Structure 1
Amino acid sequence: MTTRRCLCGALQEMSLLSHFCLCLQRKAGSCCRCIRFLHVFVFVLHIHGGHSQMCDPADLASLLAFSDGLDRMGAGLVGWGPNDTSCCSWTGISCDLGRVVELDLSNRSLSRNSFRGVAVAQLGRLPCLRRLDLSTNGLVGAFPASGFPAIEVVNVSSNGFTGPHPAFPGAPNLTVLDITGNAFSGGINVTALCASPVKVLRFSANAFSGDVPAGFGQCKLLNDLFLDGNGLTGSLPKDLYTIPELRWLSLQENQLSGSLDKALGNLSKLTLIDLSYNMFFTKIRAAKIRDKYPAFIFLTHFLNKPR
């Protein structure tokens, strides 16, 4: 539904093509006649390039509201403003059919800005936004709990965001979420995260507390799980050992304890694991994973100190 809405929103801006939007809103079997024209239209638009596209008025309004909500613009947003309505040519923005699909403001000298009111929530109203990068800006404040219906890749690492972490419950295509190096706190919303085909979760160096929640076993496509540098406690949930595609598991520098289940050896695709600086007390031989993870065994043996 989101893809169809994004495409139709762009076509509706052009009266010549509005009937194709109506066609796309019908069942798939009735769209055959408009597909050939649509292919030609997209090809021509691609030749002209994203920066020549007209900016959707609703997207423009959301971007202006976002910039207005910053305490100060910073060097990274030079060119943003109401005097230029061609937002597809603005710094860090990529468009498709006039709709904003990517926003890359990484390392844009936005430090010491805070989001006043609903500033960042305005970005969540961009219905076609697939990639968002606000990393390395020193931004502070809360991140909205809803919005971003088409989001796929999010990187807000190295900022000062606080409160609950974003989970994007209404985003069915989320694959990468990197929130490393913020001050997100509370628990981890595994239910919402695993409802998407998520592959990478980087939650390092925040202020998460409580147990590592059960439910990660539902993330069937998860490759990388980084929860290191938090205040997580308790033992590891058993379903953590059932993630079929898991390659990297980083849990060091928490307060985890208990024994390591033998099922850890069932993670056949695991290539990196670090559980150091915790309080595990499993005997290495009892875990029966010495041969498979020799480097991990060394770290676990020498850097875990039960209290």
Structure 2
Amino acid sequence: MGVLHHYWSVMIILVVVELCIYSSSSQSLTCHPRDLEALRDFINELAPKPDSWTFNSSGDCCEWEGITCNSSSSLRLNDPENTVRVTKLKLVNKKLSGKLSESFGRLHHLRVLNLSHNFISGSIPVSIFNLKNLEALDLSSNGFTGLIPESLNLPSLKSLSLSSNMLNGSLPAHICHNSTDLKLIRLESNRFSGEFPSGFEKCSLLEHLFLSGNDLTGNIPEDLFHLQRLSLLEIQENDLSGSLSPELGNLSSLVHIDVSSNRFSGEIADVFKKLSNLEYLMAESNRLTGGIPKSLANSKTLRLLNLGNNSLSGPLYLNCAAMTNLASLDLGSNKFNSSLPEHLPSCRQLSYVSLAQNHFDGHVPKSFKDFHSLSYLGLSNCSLVNISSTLHILQHCENLTTLVLSLNFRGEMFPDDPSLRFKKLKVLVVPNCRLTGSVPRWLSKSSNLELLDLSWNSLTGAIPNWIGGFTNLFYLDLSNNSFTGEIPKSLTMLQSLISQNTSAEEPYPDFSFYLYRFGRAQPYNHVFRFPPTLELSLNNLSGPIWEEFGNLKSLHVFNLNDNRLSGHIPSSLSGMTRLEVLDLSNNHLSGSIPVSLQKLTLLSKFSVANNSLSGRIPTGGQFQTFPNSSFEGNDVCGDHRFDCQAYTPDLQRPSTSDESDNSGSDFALDFSYGVALGFGLSFVVVIAFRQKLFRF
């Protein structure tokens, strides 16, 4: 018994000693010398170097920022080098600039390389495309140029992201010849050109393919439709043509497809019964004809349908009893005729609807009173009539926040029925309708308004004071009307322009929103991207520009041109620190251009042309960048335009506050000239008098 006990004691001691030796050796593990040398070459070509990357005697790169090494448990106790290997290198959004070194070829164990969102340029080293253990490669959002090499050896690759660079040449479909395990390919927003090549079929496990924003031509290759696992396909913004092949129905796993902004033509194939997982279909801005296929109009899974800006025609019908998930519908800019579809309110999830620029018969159906899910409705240029009836119907849409009715109701009277009320309305766009009357008072009850555009109409009277009470209003366009009177002082107290805090509900993804700027529709993708604006130009407004406008620190665009405004330009406008556009041209303004406006460092467009201004043009800030046309039609001069030597100031003109700062120095200078002139005249008189005395 004693011998056995002694035996087990010895064995336990040996195990403990071996574990202690292993633990001690594990603590001193460092990365392989070849990896260390490769990382040194890599970082020497880039700047700035991460702070933790110090090449000291220990060389323990596994503790550096962005580096991951294989675990010590994977090492064998009898490993003579007792080292680990670098398996992951991630330096995302570190502002790195420079070029990549070919040293990557020595990182044989690298599985993940992510250098996305930096400023790295030059070509991608060939050695990166020969890392046999690499599973994920992400070099997106840099400045890489050049071609993808023909010879690639990435057998372990599952994810490839090279988007948002300047890579060119042919699309590298040959990546699939060796990398058959690829599930994600992102090559969008580059400069790949030529015909859409075949070859992606060999990536049989591919699930996501992003190729948008290139210069691809030709048809979609037939072998692409053999990818049974493909769930997302984005090929928009290329120059692809031909028809949308009936083979599309073979992509049984497809959830999301975007073929927008190409040159696809012909009718849409009736294959959507096979696409039982499809949720998003975007094919806007092509040359598609015909109607909506029956299988598409009965899709049970579809959430978003965007076929805008094509040449689709015929009556518009969707089976809302089947389309229980449809939330967003954009069929604008087509040739649909007959009446607006009365059945749309039966699509119980439908929130966003754009049917703009079609050939409807002009009446909003009474059934829209029950459109309780509706949040956004765009009916621009649909030949609508009877604005009173339209508004009385749509006020019952209890969740309506955005209403766009541009280019309809030609010459009708804007109804001022006090019974009208839109409880949740945030955006109202009714420009270019030539509506008559005044701004209707029922709008004052729409306290949630954030954006109001009534431009290009024939509205008259004064601009109501109650508009200044809209707490959230950050975009107001009343231009190109016939408003009279003074600018309401209440507009200087718009809280969202003093400290912008917009909360407008955003349109659905890929859902365009249009505003009329300079007489033309301008698309925006998000309401919050609209520049905070006060647009009151081309009216008959009179009176002063209020000094309190300087409080609107969040205002970006301020246009008062082509009115009858008078008085001085307030120097307080320099308080509009975010102002980018200021147009005060074609008024009756007098005085000088305030020097304080030099403080508007973001100002990119400025005009005071055709007023009655005088004095010097400021030379600081942005003023050196404005053209002569910004100042013409005034009595002004400046160092870099309008020669001041030819300028004759009006001696009777009272000095402005900006000129008073120099009044002391000007007086001293004038006094010195006066003394010198007086002394000279006295000297001449004395000499002449002495000469007369000598004659007599």
Counterpart-to-counterpart distance in 2, 1:185 and 1:150: 26
1:237 corresponds to 2:221: yes
2:233 pairs with 219, 243, 249, which one?
249
| Counterpart position of 2:101 | 120
1:58 corresponds to 2:34: yes
Counterpart-to-counterpart distance in 2, 1:210 and 1:201: 19
Q: Report if the CA contact (8 A) 1:167-1:193 is conserved.
A: no
Structure 1 pair 227–303 and aligned structure 2 pair: CA distance change class (3 A):
farther
Q: 1:288 Cα shift? A: 1.1
Structure 1 pair 85–303 and aligned structure 2 pair: CA distance change class (3 A):
farther
Q: Report if the CA contact (8 A) 1:53-1:95 is conserved.
A: no
2:52 pairs with 79, 82, 85, which one?
79
Structure 1 pair 248–294 and aligned structure 2 pair: CA distance change class (3 A):
closer
Q: Deviations over 1:268-306 (max 9, x none)?
A: 00000000000000312xx1135545752663643458x
1:176 pairs with 151, 159, 179, which one?
159
Q: Which amino acid aligns with 1:139?
A: I
| Counterpart position of 2:291 | none
Q: Which amino acid aligns with 1:249?
A: L
1:273 corresponds to 2:289: no
Counterpart-to-counterpart distance in 2, 1:241 and 1:204: 19
Counterpart-to-counterpart distance in 1, 2:182 and 2:310: 30
1:132 corresponds to 2:107: no
Residue pairs, 1:31-110, within 5 angstroms: 53-70=29-46, 72-74=47-49, 77-83=50-56, 85-96=59-70, 97=72, 98-110=84-96
Q: Which amino acid aligns with 1:80?
A: W
1:296 pairs with 275, 281, 285, which one?
281
Normalised to the residue count of structure 1, the TM-score between the two structures is 0.75
Greater relative contact order structure (CA < 8 Å, 6+ sep): 1
Q: Report if the CA contact (8 A) 2:259-2:283 is conserved.
A: no
| Counterpart position of 1:212 | 196
Q: Deviations over 1:111-138 (max 9, x none)?
A: xx221xxx43212320000000000112
Counterpart-to-counterpart distance in 2, 1:222 and 1:167: 20
Indicate the SS of the match to 1:222: coil
2:170 pairs with 167, 170, 187, which one?
187
Structure 1 pair 101–167 and aligned structure 2 pair: CA distance change class (3 A):
farther
Q: Which amino acid aligns with 1:188?
A: L
Give the greater-gyration-radius structure (CA). 2
Structure 1 pair 252–189 and aligned structure 2 pair: CA distance change class (3 A):
same
Q: Deviations over 1:233-267 (max 9, x none)?
A: 11111111111110100000000000111010111
Q: Which amino acid aligns with 2:64?
A: W
Structure 1 pair 178–298 and aligned structure 2 pair: CA distance change class (3 A):
closer
1:259 corresponds to 2:234: no
Q: Which has the higher helix share?
A: 1
My pick for the range that moved more, 148-157 or 184-193, is 184-193
Q: Which amino acid aligns with 1:264?
A: L
Structure 2: runs of 5+ lacking an equivalent: 1-17, 73-83, 287-306, 312-696
Q: Report if the CA contact (8 A) 2:146-2:168 is conserved.
A: yes
Counterpart-to-counterpart distance in 1, 2:145 and 2:54: 28
Counterpart-to-counterpart distance in 2, 1:295 and 1:69: 43
The count of aligned residue pairs is: 250
Structure 1 pair 240–136 and aligned structure 2 pair: CA distance change class (3 A):
same
Indicate the SS of the match to 1:129: coil
Counterpart-to-counterpart distance in 2, 1:91 and 1:166: 30
| Counterpart position of 1:4 | none
My pick for the range that moved more, 127-136 or 210-219, is 210-219
Q: Which amino acid aligns with 1:73?
A: P
Counterpart-to-counterpart distance in 2, 1:149 and 1:298: 39
Counterpart-to-counterpart distance in 2, 1:78 and 1:223: 38
Q: Which amino acid aligns with 2:120?
A: L
Q: Report if the CA contact (8 A) 1:64-1:81 is conserved.
A: no
Q: Which amino acid aligns with 1:191?
A: H
Normalised to the residue count of structure 2, the TM-score between the two structures is 0.34
Q: Deviations over 1:94-153 (max 9, x none)?
A: 00151000000011121xx221xxx43212320000000000112111101233221110
Structure 1: runs of 5+ lacking an equivalent: 1-39
Q: Which amino acid aligns with 1:302?
A: G
Q: Which amino acid aligns with 1:239?
A: D
Q: Which amino acid aligns with 2:122?
A: G
Indicate the SS of the match to 1:296: strand
What CA RMSD, in Å, does the superposition of the two structures yield over aligned residues? 2.4
Counterpart-to-counterpart distance in 1, 2:123 and 2:254: 34
Q: Which amino acid aligns with 1:268?
A: S
Q: 1:165 Cα shift? A: 3.2
Q: 1:82 Cα shift? A: 2.1
Structure 1 pair 298–175 and aligned structure 2 pair: CA distance change class (3 A):
closer
Structure 1 pair 167–73 and aligned structure 2 pair: CA distance change class (3 A):
farther
Q: Which amino acid aligns with 1:181?
A: S
